[in-house]
Each structure stands twice: as structure tokens, then as C-alpha cells.
Structure 1
Amino acid sequence: MKKFCPNCGKPLKDGAAFCPNCGAKITQNTAPKTPQSAPQQMPTRSVQRKPVQHKPMSKKNKIIWSIVAAFAVIFIGLYIFGNQYYSRDHQIARIVNAVKSSNSDLSKYVIADDSNVKITAESVEPYKKLLNTEKSDKLQSNLTDENSVTNGELVENGKYFLLFPKYQLKVQTYQPKVTTNHADSVLYINGDKSGKFLDDSDNNYYNKENRLLAGKYTFLVKSKISGRDLQASSTVDVSKGDIDMGIETQTFMVKSIPDANIFINDKKIGTVGQDGKVTFENYPITKNMDFYVTTKVGKKDLPSTTIHNFGEAVSDNYNGSSDQVDTSDDDVVVTPEWPGMISDDDAKSLFQDTFDDPDSDDFVNGSSNTTYKDITKMEKGFDDNDDISNVDYEVEVESITPAADETSKVDYKVTYKFDHDDYTNTQVMEYKGATVKKDGDKYKIDYLGNGKLISSKKTDNDD
């Protein structure tokens, strides 16, 4: 900092003892440093703390808290398990399993839309049979995505252990009116006697049933007609409306495979004779009857296509048409068919065309089929034989039987006529066990069968 003379006010140089202007003596003021006093220390007083002593837990309290902890762990574990076990998807899976398993009781998963209907394992069986016509994955998806199945819906009905939602099938109920045309008839439902019919009018009699769960039931009517005890049964879906159990009698013939068993409403009524036919005289019929026959294929029974409303199809008053029932003549003839089985006419045409001019498109696996190669080789041999001027073939189908997987077994004969210059040689070959498979809308030969020569005749052309 610049200093000035206290006498004249002129500036001074640093450290000057006298003012160069006026000669005044300059005094250097240096203030002595004041020593800092040391901070005072307060006297300290030592404090001794007594250690805290915890009272040990009693044995009784330890047991109580252990039990509480164990129950808490168990409850949490059970809740996690229950939340999974009683989830909606798992409950649906158990319902579907109960439907598909013959040993499972579906009744615990079912409630009725009418609280007066009693739910038991026996009462839900018709509904179980109805649902069994659907595939498991379809049942599962319908319940999961749409909350519904045939004649039923998935509903939440209460809780399991007051915690988890309880899902059940709420099934529709029906009160069918069953009618017949004979007085003093008695009605049975699934083997249980229901009661007598009441007089309606115009010789009609009815029985108004209690409400039944949806499903297929077997209704049996027993009557006495012209001194004869007759009965007729029908297996009916009760959701379809009123049920006509009027009893008529009809005579009909069944033409089918020898020893085939004949069924109406799943009950065997007879067997086809060795000649391939059997006649039923004055058989009691109703409209709601399902007809089919079965034949043995290996160790299994192969059923024919079911003729629904069979009683109506064979009735004298029937105006419709059926490929399996012929009522054009006075006699009623029933000729059952099997899925994929070739008809006599189609078989004759297929084999006739094959012998006349083999086509690989008519064989399973086409030109690589072994029997296709055999027949083309055989006919090429005939063509290359200079001694044969012409060959004619005539096919006659002897029998057709069904096999598994839309396959038919065909036995047939082929008459070969070999024209030579001076004579004609006629040979008859019998082929057993030929197989034909249905491929879309077309039938194809898988195997031509085992051939056996059964006759040969030489005729001079002059004759």
C-alpha cells in the first residue's frame, strides 16, 4: 500500500525515514501481535452405563411362536397350491377328463338350470354320452374360449374353502312329451319304469315326463297289440322336442355279409345268414330308430353306416328315399353300406377297365404298384405272342366285403377268350382277396388278388 507524508502529504518511498519534500521524520507504526489464548477445556465427568439385561423367552412362548410360524408356512404353501389346482384352466381340464373317462363321476361338476332336478352320477350319464360325441380338444377350447358346450355353460358357483372360485357346468333341462298310438302302453326311460300313457284324443296317448338333463335317452314302449306283446325303443336327444313312439309292424329283409350282426338302437336283433340275407317278419318299429350291422375285420367289429330314423325309412307311409333301403317293390330290402366300400357296379367297372386297358392312375402308388406291373407284363406277353390274334376279358364280381380305413376286399372272376387262327381258348380265372382303397372321390386298386385257374375250354372256330 502507498504511504504519504503526515506533514506535507507528499508520497513516500517504502522504508523512507524522512520526507524528501519537507524533511519530516517518518515514524514506522507496527502493532504488536496479540497472542491467541488457548481454548479452555471443560472438566469431564465419566459416566458409567449399566448393561441392559434381556429376559429370556419362555419355553411356552417359543412353542407358540414355532406353531404360528409353521401354520403360516403351511397356509402360504396351501394357498399357492390351491391357487394353481383350482385355477379356471385346471378345473376345465378336470371336467373334460370326467366327460371322456368312463370311470369318472361327472355329477360333481354339474348343476341343472332347474333346482328341482336331482343331480346324480346316473342322471348325468345321458348328458355325458352326448358330450362324448365331441373331441376333447374341442370341448376344452369351447369351455375355455366361449364358456359353453352343447346344452350347457361354464358358470362360477360358489367357492372352494371360501378362497377359490368353483366352476361347474350348468346344464339345460327339458320336459319331453312322449306319445304313442296304443292304449295301456307303458313307458320306460333308460330301463326305469316311468308310468302309463294318458288318453289324449283321436287314439293318441301321451306321457309328460319330469324334467330331464339334456342328453340321449333310450325310451322303451311296451304295448299289447292284437293279443301280442310288442315293444319298441328309440334312443333320442331330448332337446329335439316331443318324441313319437307310435308302434307299427313291418316286414323287411336285410342283405349283407354272411354272419354280420344286425343292431337297432345298439341292441342286437339278429344275424345275416350264410346266403347273405335274413328276413324279419312283423317287426315293431318306431320313427326314432338307428340301424346298422357289424362284421369282423381281424379281431375288431367294423360297423356299417348308420341308418337314422330307420322305422320311418321302412314304413309303408315313407315318401323319402335312402340308398340303403329299397321300398320300390312290395318287399322292403335293407342293404347296409360301409364307409368307403365300393359298390358292385363300381367294382365291376374298375376291374373291367383295368383288364381291358391298364391305367396306372387306377392303382395305389401308380406305376410303381407291383400288381400294375404284373398285369401290364402279362398283357404285353399276350400282345407279343404271334399265335394269339386277340384277347377279350369279361369280369364278374362275386363278393365285396368292407375292411378298415375305407378299404374293400373284392373276389371276382375273369373270363379270358384267346382267339387263335383255328380255335378259341376260353379260360376262367378266380381272383380272391383283391383290395380297393378309396382315394378322395375315386377308387384305386391296391392289389389284384390271388388268381387261380378254375376252367379252360378249347373251341374250334369251325364249330
Structure 2
Amino acid sequence: MTKICPNCGKDIKKDAKFCPFCGYKFKDNPKSSVPIAHEDSQPSHQAAAVSQMPKQEMKREYKNKTPQKPMSKKNKIIYSVIGVLVILLICFYAWGSNYYNRDNQISRIVSSLKNPNQSGAQYISCDNPEVKITTESVKPLQRYFQDHTTEADQLITDFRVGNESGNVRLAQTGRYFLLFPKYTAQVTSVTPKLVTNHANSEVKIGKKSLGRLTKSGSSYVKTIPAMLPGKYNFSIKSNVEGRNLTATSTNNVWSSNNINLDIHTETLEIKSVPNGIVYINDKKVGTLNSGGNLVLKDYPITKNMTLYVQGTFNKKTLTSKKISDLDHDLEYGDEDNVVTQSGSKYVIKPEWKGLVTDDEATRVLTSAFDKGSLDEDDFVDGGGNDSYGELTRMFKTYDDEDDLRTYESDVKIKSITPNGNNSSLVTYTVTWTFEHDDYNRHQVVEYTNAILTKDDNSAKIKQIGSGKLIKDHKVSTSNDSDDD
């Protein structure tokens, strides 16, 4: 005996609880595969249709239906991995479209050009295939733009509008991941010539030796192989009148013109801060003594010579203003008298930002320690300055002494050193003379760690420093003997 499955129309055993073809579950103890309507209820249209449908027609209707098997675990994993990869690719493309955007690449290129501490090789290309682009070969270009940030920032505008800026232009030189355009700062190479006035001269660019120069007319010449433009340090060794001399020169090289490395010598006396270190062309050449002096005898002078002093003050390392064209100042002088000639030598006094002069410090401190001249305008923050309040209270104390007739002060500057932040650290003494009814008193107070700032070429007091009594001498105006 068989029955017909109402789901797929197949013939199955009459007592089967499940259809072996489609998995349909029958009700318990069914009398027929077709639901039987109760006498008091109306048969559904579906039941009526099934009951009236011939057996062969039901088989034809369901013979093309294939049972759906559940997806295997392996296929689920494969489809899941594919789905994740598709999502990752979409996210990567969205990220790459932003990161490798033309404007964003320009910003990274220019930022790298201004930072010699960053490897910039990936952002630079050259029109000359003979020039190798490496981390070291692009540093001179980076050093130049570090000193000329305004020019570097102008590159952003030029690159975006498609302008060529001197030897540098924006170029598309490939693609990232075959999807995103790659842009670099394409630089025109230069092949300058080094020229000197001495035979047997050996020249170096940085630490790399270029060999000896060869005679050409009355000069000696060496053509440098093609290289990127930028800021270069050249050094030359020559034998002058039996003495071996080494000269250095820092040059911004942007063309293939000659670079003059002629050598002559001068005696230089540098005067600055005690124990400061003197640098010429970024190379340490000596240390100032405790008096702030250093003499360099017969020092070789070259074109584009630079000089500055570096010192440590209150655990802070500070650098003086750089003299950027010392050879010019030696020959023609300078408006600020930083370089002056004294007999057969040149005296050089590098300036420090915010460093006040002895005269400026003497004037403002003398005024501060004189009640009649005390002016809040001589103090940082005016009348709200703590030192201004301290001096005001001090003068009031003196005025309140009944037997004190007069008092006066005399300020002497002992030392002035840079303090950073446009300020100076000053040590000075104040000698007081107090006239009492029957005696005079002389006191010397030494002040340390006083801070003066520079404001429109005048000094202002930030703090008068800490005072320490170093001398106290009492002189009797009666017939009594002196008391110390």
C-alpha cells in the first residue's frame, strides 16, 4: 500500500512518517496523505484540489522539484572569506583614494623636503638617470629647504597649479599598488665646478673625497659629477707656504656655475660667553676661555663662511645668531659692528637673541635701585611685577627708619649671559651708602639669577634676582672708632 506525499507528489509507503524524497513530516497516524475534512467543516481549496487531482498529474507537477540540501560547512567558510576580502578591498581602495590623493601627496613631499631628519628618497626623483636617489643624496636638498621654509611652502602652491619652481617640479613617476598615481618632486641635476687658487688642493664634498683639482689657466678646477641641488659643505686641503691648511665652505648650489674655494688667512679673535663653543661652517673650531675669548691665528677664510657660538646656561643649550657671510664682513665690515678690525686681527662678537648690553643692564638696574627713578615701565608686567613690589617695600622700610638721613646706590654689572626666550641672565652688585645720624654704613649686595628681557632695543626687568650681602662696613661719624 502506498500514499502520495502532499508536498512533492511522490509515492511513498503508507506507514511512512517522513517523505524520503522531500523530508515532509506526516501527522501521527494519518489515515491518508491528504488531510480529511470533518463532516461539519468545509474542505479547504487546497485539500479539495489535491483530492480531486489524478495521481499521474500530481507526479508530473512535482517531478521537476529537487530537494534543497543545506550548504556544506566548507562552502560557508569559502563564501565568508570571499565576503571579508571584498569588504577589505573596498575599505583599502577608499583609504588609498584619500591617502594617495594628489594634494595629500604634495603635502607629504613638501613636509619631507623641510626635514633632513626624515628619509626623503621616496618623494624625490631626478631628470638625470645618472643621479642615484638615496637617503643621503637628498639631504642637501632637505637642508636647503629647512633654511628656506618660505620657498618650500611656495612649492605647495606651484605643484597644485602645475607651475615649475626653479629646478623643482611635480611629476607622476609611477603608481602605488597599480591603482593610485605616484607623485614626486622631480629635480633638475647640476654639475658645478670647484675652483681654487692653490695647487695640490684636495677637495671633499661632505665626507666624500673628489680627489685633487687640476690646473686650468691660473686656477685649479674640479668638475663635480651630476648631483641634486641643495646646501653642501665643501672642504679643501692645501699646502700654503709650507703650512697645511684646511678650509671649509657652505654653499647653496642651484646651478652648474663655478664655486670659488680660494684660500686666504686672517687672525680672528672671538669674544662671547665664557666656555662657549665656536663653530665655523658648522664645524667646531675651538672653545672660549672663562673670559669668553678665543684667538684663531692665520685661520683660512673662504667664501660664504659662517660662524656662531653655542653655550649651556642653566642646563639649556643656546646658540648665538649666525654670522652668515663672515668673509664679506671681514672685507667690508658690517652695520652692527659685530665684526671689527683691531690692528692685524679681526674681533668678532656674535649677537645673542634677547641678550642685553652692559649699558642697557646698567641703566635699567640703576634706575630700579634709585627711589627717585624707580619706574614700573622698566618692569615686565609693570606695577604687577613681584620685583617692582619688592623694591617699593624696601624703599618704604628705609624711609621709615628715623635715624636714616639719606641713602644711595651704585650698580656694577659682573656678567651677562643668554637665557633663552629673548632674555638675559645677569649677575651684578649694588653698593649701598646709608647716612645715619652718627655713622655711615656701606653695604655690598651681590644679585644672581636676575632676568632682563629685550624689548624694542631697551631692557626690562623680569626679576631682580636673589641678593646676598657680601660686605658690610660701618663708619662712625663721631670720635668713636670704625666698626666692621
How do 1:255-270 and structure 2 match up within 5 A?
Answer: 255-270=271-286
Q: Which residue of 2 aligns with 1:210?
A: 225
User: By how many angstroms is 1:176 displaced?
Assistant: 2.5
When residues 373 and 151 of structure 1 are mapped into structure 2, their CA distance, relative to the original with a 3 A threshold, is: farther
TM-score by length of 1: 0.77
The superposition leaves residues 404-454 of structure 1 with CA deviations (integer Å, 9 ceiling, x where unpaired) of 211111111222233456665433322222111234554211111222333
* Residue 226 of structure 1, aligned match among 231, 241, 254: 241
Q: Which residue of 2 aligns with 1:106?
A: 120
User: By how many angstroms is 1:116 displaced?
Assistant: 3.5
* Residue 272 of structure 1, aligned match among 285, 288, 294: 288
Check whether the contact 2:141–2:231 (CA below 8 A) recurs between aligned residues: yes
Letter aligned with residue 371 of structure 1: S
For structure 1, which runs of at least 5 residues remain unmatched after alignment?
Answer: 1-45
Letter aligned with residue 235 of structure 2: L
Q: Which residue of 2 aligns with 1:237?
A: 252
How do 1:72-221 and structure 2 match up within 5 A?
Answer: 76=90, 78-96=92-110, 98-99=112-113, 104-133=118-147, 138=153, 142=157, 145=160, 151-201=167-217, 203-221=218-236
Letter aligned with residue 158 of structure 1: G
Q: Which residue of 1 aligns with 2:475?
A: 458
User: By how many angstroms is 1:167 displaced?
Assistant: 0.7
Q: Which residue of 1 aligns with 2:357?
A: 343
Check whether the contact 1:429–1:453 (CA below 8 A) recurs between aligned residues: yes
User: By how many angstroms is 1:129 displaced?
Assistant: 2.0
Letter aligned with residue 95 of structure 1: I
Q: Distance in 1 between matches of 2:302 and 2:109?
A: 35
TM-score by length of 2: 0.74
Q: Which residue of 2 aligns with 1:354?
A: 368
Check whether the contact 1:408–1:435 (CA below 8 A) recurs between aligned residues: yes
When residues 77 and 52 of structure 1 are mapped into structure 2, their CA distance, relative to the original with a 3 A threshold, is: farther
Letter aligned with residue 398 of structure 1: K
Helix, strand or coil: the match of 2:431? strand
When residues 448 and 228 of structure 1 are mapped into structure 2, their CA distance, relative to the original with a 3 A threshold, is: same
The superposition leaves residues 179-215 of structure 1 with CA deviations (integer Å, 9 ceiling, x where unpaired) of 21211211111111113223333x4323232332121
Q: Distance in 2 between matches of 1:220 and 1:460?
A: 71
Q: Which residue of 2 aligns with 1:284?
A: 300
Helix, strand or coil: the match of 1:327? strand
User: Which shifted more, 224-233 or 432-441?
Assistant: 432-441
User: Which shifted more, 225-234 or 366-375?
Assistant: 366-375
Letter aligned with residue 130 of structure 1: Y
How much is the aligned-residue C-alpha RMSD, in angstroms?
A: 3.6
Q: Distance in 2 between matches of 1:51 and 1:384?
A: 122
For structure 2, which runs of at least 5 residues remain unmatched after alignment?
Answer: 1-53, 480-484
Q: Which residue of 2 aligns with 1:43?
A: none
Check whether the contact 1:249–1:285 (CA below 8 A) recurs between aligned residues: yes
Q: Distance in 2 between matches of 1:411 and 1:126?
A: 42
Check whether the contact 2:434–2:441 (CA below 8 A) recurs between aligned residues: yes
Identity %: 37
Helix, strand or coil: the match of 2:327? helix
Q: Which has the larger radius of gyration?
A: 1
Q: Distance in 2 between matches of 1:279 and 1:261?
A: 13
Check whether the contact 1:286–1:312 (CA below 8 A) recurs between aligned residues: no
Give the aligned length: 411
Q: Distance in 1 between matches of 2:340 and 2:130?
A: 47
Q: Which residue of 1 aligns with 2:311?
A: 295
Q: Distance in 1 between matches of 2:476 and 2:297?
A: 50
Q: Distance in 1 between matches of 2:440 and 2:343?
A: 43
Letter aligned with residue 475 of structure 2: K
User: By how many angstroms is 1:392 displaced?
Assistant: 2.9
Check whether the contact 2:439–2:475 (CA below 8 A) recurs between aligned residues: yes
